Structure formats: structure tokens, C-alpha cells
Structure 1
Amino acid sequence: MSTIPIRVISLASRTDRRRQVAEQFARLGVAGYSFLDAVNGKEQPDHPLFAHYDPAARARRKGRGRDLKPSQLGCFASHYLLWQECAASGRPMVVVEDDALLQDNFPDLLIRASQLAERWPLIWLHGYDRSGRDPVMAVGRMGPFTLVRKLKRHSCTVAYLLSPAGAEALLAHCGSWVYPVDDTMIRFYEHGVESILLQPPCVAQDHDSPSDIRGAENRPMPWPDKIRREFYKACDEIRRVWHNLRFRLRFRRPVS
């Protein structure tokens, strides 16, 4: 089985979730994982990484009064720390959040993780598909898995495989934080890290476990903010469509 490190993001206080994750790894016969004490945005409001957050840029793009919450900043910082770790180590890494449900095919992923990371810098291991609204493009196969490229979006950061090159690209892009970490990672048309999904997924999200992360509040938005937000959304859509078109034109599917 792969010797790629598996890092589990978990608040130090969530011993219940850590126990559940450990039980899942034991059931699958997987070793070599370790926990990262997640950054607690509420208890660590002055964490040095929070200096990356740009509230003015956030307000321009999403409207005033819609700041990222402390829990969202803590989540971003936790993933950012692992990107730094991955880049510094020069080795691929599997990142898992503590609300992950590991599927029976998770060991199949670990066996092929090194090869997969050589092909693609970022591979989502958990599924996210809003029927008919999240188009994908097949880009290859490996063993029992099909690899598809997400053409629009992917939600949450439950589990992913990251290469050092992918980590370096994300770090270079994230000098300024404007969006939650999952929304940032899916902006492939900005940072160039293609969003690849493993099918069938080898991880699911435990939706029965209450999330420790709270999103921005949906307050009534003044019309100038709405106009500005829609302008930025239109710009993003144009860039995304153009990036996808260029990818289709130059992509050559590798031999499995």
C-alpha cells in the first residue's frame, strides 16, 4: 500500500471525531495517518495566517457584511498549513477532514496515489454532484477508478490528494484570502490547478455530524453591492468557460 502521508484535519477538542476516524482507518487496515490540530478561529482570532484575509476585497466581490467567519478562516488556515507541509516535503499528501466517511475502496486509492499524483496535482476523493448541474469531462482511468475533470464547481474539502506542485500553486495563489478554502481551490481558471474528481469516490461526508464551520450570513444586500457582485460573477463565468475551452482543445488523454 502507498506510503504517502495521510493528514487528518481535526480540532484538538473533537476527540469524538478523532476516535471515529481512527476506527475507520483500523477497519480498512490503513496506517500512516496523523492528525493536524486544526486552527480554531474562535479561540485563535489573532492567528498569524489570518493576515492573509482581505476583507475589503471580500466586500467588493460578495457585498458588505458578508465577511468570512472565524471558523471559515480557521478551516482555510488549517488547509494552508498542510499545503506548506506538502510543498516543503516534496511528497504527495492525502488530506482528510474529520467528518469523512472512508469507503471500502479507499485502500485502492492509496495503492495508486503516487501514480495519480504524478498525473494531476489535485484530485478530489469525495463526491459532489448536483444532478445535471455539475458537468464533468473524462480525462483517464486508473485501475477501478475513472478520472473526470470538474468543469464548474466542487463543494467542501472533505478529502483530496495533493501533489507538491499543486500545493505550491495554491500557496502562490493564496497570498490574499477572499473566499472560503473550497471556493478558492475550485477557481482553477485563476491558479491553474485543475479540479479532478475520482469516480467512484472513496470518501463521503458525514452529513449527520454537525459542522464546526459556519458560513457567512445571508443578509439583504443593497443594490450597488448586488450589481458589483453580479459583475464579478460574470467575469468569473467568462474566465471559467474560456479556460475550459482551452483545456478541451489541448487535452490529450493519457493511456491508462
Structure 2
Amino acid sequence: MMFGETTVMKTFVISLKNSPRRERVVNLLNSTSLEYEFFDAISINDPKFHLYDKSNPMKTYFRKGFVLKATEVACFASHYALWERCIEIGQPIVILEDNIGLVEGGDEYIKSLYKRTDIYDYLKLSSIPNHSAPPIFHEIERINESLLFGYNNQETAGTTGYIITVKAARAFIQGATEFIDPVDNYLEKPWLHGIQVYSSLPEPCYRENVVSEIGQRKDKSNRSTLIRISKEIYRTYELFKRKRSWHTS
């Protein structure tokens, strides 16, 4: 079934209920052509926060050298719930976070990229460099005179904005039997779920400079020698898996 050209694009903005951030998002998106709705983020105080049982602090600690904060697990759970929503409504969706900023013409870029969901399953709309060297963009096609479509040569951070298909949503859910990584790291690991990440140049969105509601993410203090060794072994393993699975075709 083709979605990109014929289906009304559904856009969800993840935001904690009653968050003061919503006013900024309303002012931003109401000035664009995007139709959107808020999706109440799962709070650590929410009785529905049952997905916390999916976290495995010990496994995360041995692999990463830190444990996920409760707010990080709640962030993962919020995205997970929207993947379920994507499957429920049976069409690709746009997922934004309430720290979003838009470049000039970003709303039209998003609409153009949405049309590529007939072919591609996970389109990242904003990224944060994850390494000292910035990612190198590889062009697949020129969508129009100002927008290129392709992928980066390495993983990036952030979940400020992305588009997923039902296929991707199912794969992300099936791969997330446990919440080991922060959600943005998880989405960039195709060997875990079989979904490649694509992006554009320029990217339609960026992370606005607003105070994080997750807080300080990683406490790496007081790590034992065993944990340092364990982390390095797993890092080497992931480098091997990434080399074999990152846009190999």
C-alpha cells in the first residue's frame, strides 16, 4: 500500500502533560503548514509506567558503564508507545519532541521526506554528531533543488524528530525486549532491529536550546576496572556489528 502521496500525514509531538514547553511548540508549529497533536509523554510518576520493567540496569552497566536514569527509561517508553500507535493506525507517522526547532522551510522538507516512506522505513529529521569527527553525508537522490536525501556514514544522537513506517515500528518493538540503551542509541543500531536510518541535507529540525527534562544523563564515576574492561569489550563488539550492518547494501 502506498502512503506517501495519498495519506494525510500524522504528526505527534511528545510532551509531558502540562509541560510549559508546549506553549513554545504551539507557537512554533502553528506558524507552519504542519497539522499535529500532542502525545502525553510517559512520566516516571505515571501509574502506566509499567515499561520500567523492561530496563535492565545491570546489563546496561556492564555494557555501557552507566545505568539509565528513570527519566531515560520513561523517554524510551514514550517513543515505544508511539511505535505501538503507529501500528494501531496502520500508516507512517512523524514523531517530534517538544525541544524541536525548525529550519526555514522545515515543514515542507518534512512533507517531502514523508513521501519517501513508500521505500524507506526510518527517516531521521534531526541529528546530533556522536563523534569528534562530524558525519559524512552520502547522497541517494536529490528530492528538489534545495533538499538531498541519503544517509550519514556513522551513527548520530538525538530523537528530536523522525519518521517511521509500520514496518519500522514493528521492528523497533520486537528488538526492544529490554531497554538497555538510551532510545536514540537504540534506534541507530540496525543489527538489533534490522532497520537502517536515513536522513537529509539539510535536516528539517534541530534541537532547540531548552532545559532538558531528562537531566544529567550518565554518571560514569567510580567505575571499577572490571566494568571498564567489560565496557571496552562490548564497545569493540558493537564496532564490529556496526561495520557489518551499517548501510552495507
Amino acid at match of 1:85: R
**Correspondence for 2:218:** 216
**Correspondence for 1:10:** 15
TM-fit CA distance, 1:103 = 2.3
SS where residue 27 of structure 1 aligns? Answer: coil
CA distance in 2, matches of 1:142, 1:135: 19
CA distance in 1, matches of 2:132, 2:234: 26
The two structures have a TM-score, normalised by structure 2, of 0.89
Gaps of 5+ in 1: 251-256
**Correspondence for 2:109:** 109
CA distance in 2, matches of 1:100, 1:23: 12
SS where residue 30 of structure 2 aligns? Answer: helix
Gaps of 5+ in 2: none
TM-fit CA distance, 1:131 = 6.5
Q: Share of identical aligned residues, percent?
A: 22
**Preserved contact between residue 110 and residue 125 of structure 2 (Cα < 8 Å):** no
Structure 2 matches for 1:157-168, cutoff 5 A?
A: 157-168=159-170
TM-fit CA distance, 1:38 = 0.6
Amino acid at match of 1:6: T
Instruction: Select which of 27, 30, 34 maps to 1:26.
Output: 30
CA distance in 1, matches of 2:123, 2:164: 7
CA distance in 1, matches of 2:110, 2:241: 34
The structure-2 alpha-carbon separation of the partners of 1:156 and 1:110, relative to structure 1 and needing over 3 Å to count, comes to: closer
The structure-2 alpha-carbon separation of the partners of 1:110 and 1:240, relative to structure 1 and needing over 3 Å to count, comes to: closer
Structure 2 matches for 1:177-256, cutoff 5 A?
A: 177-207=179-209, 209-214=210-215, 215-244=217-246, 247-248=247-248, 250=249
Structure 2 matches for 1:121-200, cutoff 5 A?
A: 121-129=121-129, 132-143=133-144, 144-200=146-202
Q: Cα deviations across residues 151-190 of structure 1 (Å, max 9, x unaligned)?
A: 3211110000111111111011001110110011111232
The structure-2 alpha-carbon separation of the partners of 1:148 and 1:131, relative to structure 1 and needing over 3 Å to count, comes to: farther
The structure-2 alpha-carbon separation of the partners of 1:147 and 1:73, relative to structure 1 and needing over 3 Å to count, comes to: same
CA RMSD in angstroms, aligned pairs only: 1.9
SS where residue 175 of structure 1 aligns? Answer: coil
CA distance in 1, matches of 2:89, 2:220: 40
SS where residue 28 of structure 1 aligns? Answer: coil
SS where residue 234 of structure 2 aligns? Answer: helix
SS where residue 14 of structure 2 aligns? Answer: strand
CA distance in 1, matches of 2:9, 2:135: 30
**Preserved contact between residue 149 and residue 194 of structure 1 (Cα < 8 Å):** no
TM-fit CA distance, 1:46 = 7.1
CA distance in 2, matches of 1:54, 1:37: 24
TM-fit CA distance, 1:218 = 2.0
SS where residue 169 of structure 1 aligns? Answer: helix
**Correspondence for 1:57:** 59
SS where residue 229 of structure 2 aligns? Answer: helix
Q: Cα deviations across residues 194-229 of structure 1 (Å, max 9, x unaligned)?
A: 11112101111112x110012121212111111110
